[in-house]
Amino acid sequence: MNTMRQNWKGVLLCAALAVPSFLLGKQFPIIGGPVFAILIGMALAPMIKKKEIFAPGIKFTSKKILQYAVILLGFGMNLEVVLETGKQSLPIILCTIGTSLIIAYILHRAMHIPGNISTLVGVGSSICGGSAIAATAPVIDADDEEVAQAISVIFLFNILAALIFPALGGALGFSTTSGEAFGIFAGTAVNDTSSVTAAASTWDSIYHLGSQTLDKAVTVKLTRTLAIIPITLVLAFLRTKRAEGTDGEKVSLKSVFPFFILFFIGASVITTAATAMGVPAEMFVPLKELSKFFIIMAMGAIGFHTDVVKLIKSGGKPILMGLCCWIGITIVSLVMQHAMHLW
């Protein structure tokens, strides 16, 4: 009860900040609500005089509510549909994820980019942008500035992908009578769901394909999202191993194990079982929307804690890493599609 009394003001502030961000994200999906929330949070922070009364709730929002958002994300996952329609793209997904993580690791070593930033950019680029960063951050104990930095990098290449990829697909000769090839490309090579949706919808609109491309792209993207599960578990294990090799405080697997991922899996299983029994998928839409709203709330809290000057000064190397990951994923996606005769 005492904790709730401490938290409510900061949580309420983040919720109030999230409402306009959520609406702006709907209006401008190419940018997305989380980015608006970070920007508004950064702008709002200097105007708040007595920050200490909001601090506990803001911390709770950036940590716990972010985890609740990932759990609710599971209600958008019908595992049967995802695995059935996504298995065609599975080899491409595995190769693009591997490519991004390898590039991030090499640049982390070569350019001395901090480990947490490298992990967040690599995972965010390869899996599902903001959602993957949200799931990974608590496992590796990333701070708010590291999360904001990674989200900013992912955002930049989301916008570029949404603007460039439809023209690139046309230049490369993707089928304009079916949305399948471009849908797989968008679903495997674009970072965040909002930008996947923007790129695929543009292709559908240009070539009058209804929602063919969008349906394919979103399904492939959801298949990519499942990679959150093994990635977070591996990162938790690696964190304990690293701790064992240092003289610092020991970190047990139990203390860093991402238990919220088990609830994410549970939510996915509930959705799969319910839809198999005839429950319409639309029943889960409010929970998916609540997940998005919670992510936006958490990003607002993160923006509130972020030092803008420091973010700009330290931004060069992470942006270069994001660019390399993005180019690598794009090339591998195209090469794999061509090799599998999907384009």
3-state secondary structure of 226: coil
Q: pTM for the whole thing? A: 0.81
Angstrom distance (rounded) from CA 175 to CA 184:
12
Domain around 169:
64-298+307-339
CA atoms within 13 A on the CB side of 130: 33
Position 226 in a domain: yes
Per-residue buried b or exposed e for 204-222, using 16+ beta carbons within 10 Å of the residue's own CB: beebebeebbbbbbbbbbb
Predicted local confidence at residue 313, as pLDDT: 75
Asked, for residue 2, whether it belongs to a domain, the answer is no
Judge whether residue 4 has pLDDT over 80. Answer: no
Residue 106: inside a domain, yes or no? yes
Number of independent structural domains in the chain: 1
Residue 79: inside a domain: yes
Residue 220 forms part of a structural domain: yes
Tens digit of pLDDT for each residue in 240-288?
Answer: 877 665 555 566 666 667 888 889 899 999 999 999 999 998 898 899 8
Contact 32, 128 (CB under 8 A): no
CA distance 178 to 183: 9
In tens, the pLDDT along 173-194 reads 999 998 999 999 999 999 887 7
Residue 237 maps to a domain: yes
Residue 317 CB coordination number (10 Å): 19
Highest mean pLDDT among 5-14, 33-42, 91-100, 147-156: 91-100
Residue whose C-alpha is closest to residue 7's, from 49, 61, 47: 61
Residue 44 lies in a domain: no
Task: Give mean pLDDT, residues 153-177.
Answer: 90
Inside any domain, residue 215? yes
Listed ranges 42-56, 75-89, 93-107, 305-319; the one with the highest mean pLDDT: 93-107
